[in-house]
Amino acid sequence: MNRVLTSMVTFAIGLLIWGNEASAFCGFYVGKADTKLFNKASEVAIARHDNKTVITMANDFKGDVKEFAMVVPVPTVLERDQIHVGDAAVLKHLADYSAPRLVEYFDPNPCQMIYPESRAMDMMAKAAEPPGRQERDKALGVMVEAQYTVGEYDILILSAKESHGLETWLSESGYQIPLGASTVLRSYLKQNMKFFVAKVNLVEQAKLGFTHLRPLQIAFESPKFMLPIRLGTVNADGAQELFIYVLTKQGRVETTNYRTIRLPEAQEIPLYVKEKFGDFYRDLFTQQVKRESQRGVFLEYAWDMNWCDPCAANPLSTEELRTLGVFWQDSPSLTQRRGLMPQAQNVFLTRLHVRYDAAHFPEDLMFQETSDRNNFQARYILRHAWTGTDDCPAATTYRQQLRERYEREAQTLANLTGWNIGEIRKAMNLASLPKGEDMKWYQRLWTN
Amino acid sequence: MRQDNDKSNEIKSTFWRDPRLYQIASLSTLLFYGLFWLHFDISTWQVAITLCVSQLTQFAGTRYFNLPLFDPKSAVISSLSLCLLLRTNDPAVAALAAFVAIAIKFLIRWNNKHVFNPTNLALVVILSSGLGWISPGQWGQVAWLGFLVACLGSLVVTRAARADVTLAFLTFYIGLLFVRTLWLGDPLTIPLHQIENGALLIFAFFMISDPKTTPDSRTGRIFFALMVALTALYVQFGLFKPNGPLWGLIVCSPFVSLLDRMFPGARYDWSKPTTGHDLVSIPLSLSLQPQRRFL
């Protein structure tokens, strides 16, 4: 039996989904970058307030479910009621709502505008055991603190006296322990952490009829505001992607032991990127990771759950947020009695994206909630040129400046993604455009 | 005439030997780097407001308490430290922090010494009221290394008489981090990563080292450094809260007078840097203001 120990779950490359076009105040929303663009990616949603934490771990495990196993260090022994199986659709909604987005603007007719270059909009951007098992557990120093079957999962909460016993126990129970995990297990044990171990119960899964693994949720109370990533780096082949969605009451969340960096946003990029926004975003992210010497945690979205602008997906409903662990809102019935729409209140979403490996992320991710409620979104702009035939001095100037603008967009794209500038210019067909920049300043002065 | 010249030379010499000038230079450089390279979450407006409010408060305090000389240097250091550490979206909060930092020096005193380090108290007031936050992760490796060199350099250049408390704190704090790592069996990259924090350097070289809030004797200071390091580690690994050293210093500061009684030493004067052993000032400069000082 070859079970694979996965502390985080792998993703397959998905296709970029072009969302439903919707007009919005901050430009026209044209698309988003899906989390499935990234290899070996996992998604975790954390809802936290007053030391009470609910963690949702998304499983999009593509292999044989018999081989699925998950080991997560947890700060406390969890009761049956503290474990829940969530709905993958809600997490998908959360990912879509906060995805990096592409918007487009259309230049107006310069002959009818006083300030053709004015872009005021941009300002807004911002189970049962065999006999004798218990004796063996005791000999190894491993305590099965609790065991439950929740949905399609068999769950064990383990504590142990020492890591070797735990390692042996896991191996004997059919888990393949990667080399080097023992050191990490020992460190967690000494810090009084327990282990949450989940496997798929095939009988239950067949009964329930689900073909995919639903996200596992745990709720606990602990002052520790962190995400254990160290086990995930032990057997990892290369860097892993992690998307963290944090739902809080007060404001933006950031890492305290790694630099949290805002991704470049509100940049104007060439129009042809519309067809390959997924590639663009993936390469942009890789470039930023390189620039930060692979040590940064990147902020992709920080927004009050009440609204969005432009919306890549509608904000989550009160009910959806409750399933993700947001417990501090008024109950829906109370809101309805007041005659209000059931809308999210006091929920601030922070979306962080990190590419991590053991060399650059030696420690688990530690977080803090700040009082910062400023909105932020990774938003990229396509600006369509005005193609009218009107003739006026403003139109002439506009046409002459277009090439410069395209060149600027090409430079921005090359800088953001590391793509070859020559190829970008070729894709934009820049050579065929009139060479506006070759004109002397005085030639431009008196053009008519 | 010649006497006047001598006197002005002495004043000049004292001015340039003040270790605070070197501190201001290194903090300003770090702030520029942070603002324009690391993109710290702070606006130039917040920097301006913090600097202005702290100087105004210093000036008002000097006038109100009838002090003979307005000395802006300590207030500049406090405000630069605030700019490097405190994050807020509200300019009023930045102004409040600067005001609290400076006003507290004049208002809370015990036995002619400040009880709390001005920047430390202002930060704790803002953090506990939830009006602002500190981003302990905002520092990159380059900034940290550069700043470490500058800080160590400052010890050499200024011959800082009270480097003992800084070195003692860093030895205890870093030493205990390594001991914890060895006990957990973790790789040494973890404590190395944990100390790669600019806030820790600002704390060790600019806050805990403040001669006006540390014990007078060397024994007292080393004991004090150990107390702060232990409290800081408890906050970090027992209470799981960031910014351990800041909370450690604020908790331990009220015990300074007790330590002074247990281990007496000479009181510090910026113009006569002493280690606390020499009751006669070392011939580095002349004391210009032998009176009670609030700086």
Please write the tens of the pLDDT for every residue from B70-111. 788 888 999 999 999 999 988 999 999 999 999 888 877 666
Inform me whether the pLDDT recorded for A432 exceeds 90: no
Phi, psi of A34 (to 5 degrees): -75, 150
Range with the largest mean pLDDT of B4-8, B124-128, B156-160: B124-128
- Judge whether B108 and B212 are in contact, CB under 8 Å: no
Please write the tens of the pLDDT for every residue from A195-239. 888 888 888 888 887 777 888 999 999 999 999 988 878 766 778
Cα–Cα dist B190/A395, whole Å:
61
CB contact under 8 A, A368 and B132: no
Give the pLDDT band of residue A287 (cuts 50, 70, 90): very high
Please write the tens of the pLDDT for every residue from B262-295. 887 766 655 555 555 543 333 333 333 333 333 3
CB contact under 8 A, B132 and A371: yes
Residue A208: how many CB atoms within 10 A of its CB?
A: 13
Which residues in chain A have Cβ-Cβ distances shorter than 8 Å to B141?
A: 293, 295
Of residues A223 and A399, more confidence is placed in: A223
Q: Which residue of A has its CA nearest to B239?
A: A223
Cα–Cα dist A318/B52, whole Å:
45
B184 closest CB neighbour out of A190, A259, A261:
A190
Lowest mean pLDDT among A119-123, A417-421, B50-54, B236-240: A119-123
pLDDT value at residue B251 = 94
Average pLDDT over residues A107-128: 53
pLDDT value at residue B278 = 41
Percentage of residues of chain B with pLDDT beyond 90: 34
CB contact under 8 A, A190 and B39: no
pLDDT value at residue B66 = 76
- Judge whether B178 and B191 are in contact, CB under 8 Å: yes
Alpha carbons within 13 A on the beta-carbon side of A303: 26
Inform me whether the pLDDT recorded for A439 exceeds 70: no
Nearest CA-CA distance, residue B282 and chain A, Å = 42
Which residue in B86, B96, B186 has the most chain A C-beta atoms within 10 A of its own C-beta, making it the best mutation to test that interface? B186
Instruction: Give the C-alpha distances (Å, rounded to integers) separating A173 from B106, B154, B240.
Output: 67, 59, 33
Which residues in chain B have Cβ-Cβ distances shorter than 8 Å to A293?
A: 140-141
pLDDT value at residue A241 = 87
CB contact under 8 A, B194 and A223: no
Which residues in chain A have Cβ-Cβ distances shorter than 8 Å to B189?
A: 362
Which residues in chain B have Cβ-Cβ distances shorter than 8 Å to A191?
A: 184
Give the pLDDT band of residue B154 (cuts 50, 70, 90): confident
Nearest CA-CA distance, residue B186 and chain A, Å = 6
DSSP one-letter string for A121-177: THHHH-----TTHHHHHHHHTEEEEEEEEETTEEEEEEEESSHHHHHHHHHHTTEEP
pLDDT value at residue A6 = 42
Inform me whether the pLDDT recorded for A124 exceeds 50: no
Of A70, A59, A43, which Cα lies nearest the Cα of A156? A70
Locate A89 and state its tokens: 């659709």
Q: Which residue of A has its CA nearest to B236?
A: A224
Please write the tens of the pLDDT for every residue from B118-133. 899 999 999 999 899 9
Cα–Cα dist A175/A70, whole Å:
10
Inform me whether the pLDDT recorded for B53 exceeds 70: yes
Give the pLDDT band of residue A244 (cuts 50, 70, 90): very high
pLDDT value at residue B237 = 93
As a residue count, chain A comes to 448
A362 closest CB neighbour out of B133, B137, B189:
B189
Which residues in chain B have Cβ-Cβ distances shorter than 8 Å to A352?
A: none
Which residues in chain A have Cβ-Cβ distances shorter than 8 Å to B246?
A: none
- Is the minimum CB–CB distance between B262 and chain A shorter than 8 Å? no
Residues near A419 by beta carbon (within 8 Å), at least 6 away in sequence: A283, A413
- Is the minimum CB–CB distance between A249 and chain B shorter than 8 Å? no
Residues near A163 by beta carbon (within 8 Å), at least 6 away in sequence: A182, A183, A185, A186, A189
Please write the tens of the pLDDT for every residue from A342-398. 555 789 999 999 999 888 899 999 999 999 999 999 999 999 888 888 888 888 888
Which residues in chain B have Cβ-Cβ distances shorter than 8 Å to A261?
A: 39
Residue A231: how many CB atoms within 10 A of its CB?
A: 24
Nearest CA-CA distance, residue A443 and chain B, Å = 37
Mean model confidence pLDDT for chain A: 79
CB contact under 8 A, B187 and A362: yes
Alpha carbons within 13 A on the beta-carbon side of B122: 29
- Is the minimum CB–CB distance between B41 and chain A shorter than 8 Å? yes
Residue with structure tokens 């600027």?
A: A408
Q: Is A297 helix (H, G, I), strand (E, B) or coil?
A: strand
Mean model confidence pLDDT for chain B: 80
CB contact under 8 A, B194 and A363: yes
Locate B105 and state its tokens: 């020096």
CB contact under 8 A, A374 and B89: yes
Cα–Cα dist A301/A307, whole Å:
13
pLDDT value at residue A343 = 55
Inform me whether the pLDDT recorded for A90 exceeds 60: yes
Inform me whether the pLDDT recorded for A22 exceeds 50: no
Give the pLDDT band of residue A409 (cuts 50, 70, 90): very high
CB contact under 8 A, A366 and B132: no
Of residues A152 and A117, more confidence is placed in: A152
DSSP one-letter string for chain B: -HHHHHHHHHHHHHHHH-HHHHHHHHHHHHHHHHHHTS--S--HHHHHHHHHHHHHHHHHHHHHTT-S----HHHHHHHHHHHHHEE-S-HHHHHHHHHHHHHHHHHSEETTEESS-HHHHHHHHHHHHTS-EE-TT---HHHHHHHHHHHHHHHHHHT-TTHHHHHHHHHHHHHHHHHHHHHHT--THHHHHHT--HHHHHIIIIITT-TTTS-SSHHHHHHHHHHHHHHHHHHHHTS--S-HHHHHHHHHGGGHHHHHHHS--PPPBTTB---SS-SSPPTTS--S--S----
- Judge whether B85 and B27 are in contact, CB under 8 Å: no
Average pLDDT over residues A244-268: 93
Cα–Cα dist B82/B99, whole Å:
11
User: Which DSSP symbol is given to A191?
Assistant: T
Cα–Cα dist A126/B251, whole Å:
40
CB contact under 8 A, B193 and A362: yes
Phi, psi of A120 (to 5 degrees): -60, -25
Residues near B255 by beta carbon (within 8 Å), at least 6 away in sequence: B224, B227
Q: Where are the beta strands (DSSP E) in A165-239?
A: 175-176, 194-200, 216-221, 226-227
Alpha carbons within 13 A on the beta-carbon side of A387: 3
pLDDT value at residue A5 = 42
Average pLDDT over residues B125-143: 86
Q: Which residue of B has its CA nearest to A183?
A: B185
Residue with structure tokens 């072009």?
A: A18
Portion 6-35 of B in contact with A at CB < 8 A: none
Beta bridge partners of A365: A227
pLDDT value at residue B157 = 61
Give the pLDDT band of residue B176 (cuts 50, 70, 90): very high
Cα–Cα dist A225/A70, whole Å:
21
- Is the minimum CB–CB distance between B46 and chain A shorter than 8 Å? no
Residues near B293 by beta carbon (within 8 Å), at least 6 away in sequence: B67, B269, B270
Of residues A144 and B124, more confidence is placed in: B124
Question: Residue A85 CA to chain centroid, in angstroms?
Answer: 20
pLDDT value at residue B74 = 85
Cα–Cα dist A23/A103, whole Å:
9
Portion 42-101 of A in contact with B at CB < 8 A: none
CB contact under 8 A, A293 and B141: yes
Residue with structure tokens 């989390």?
A: A35
pLDDT value at residue A310 = 84
**Burial group, residue B224, by CB count within 10 angstroms (0-12, 13-18, 19+):** buried
- Is the minimum CB–CB distance between A363 and chain B shorter than 8 Å? yes
Percentage of residues of chain B with pLDDT beyond 70: 80
Element (H, E) at A396: helix A393-417
Nearest CA-CA distance, residue B88 and chain A, Å = 7
CB contact under 8 A, A371 and B190: no
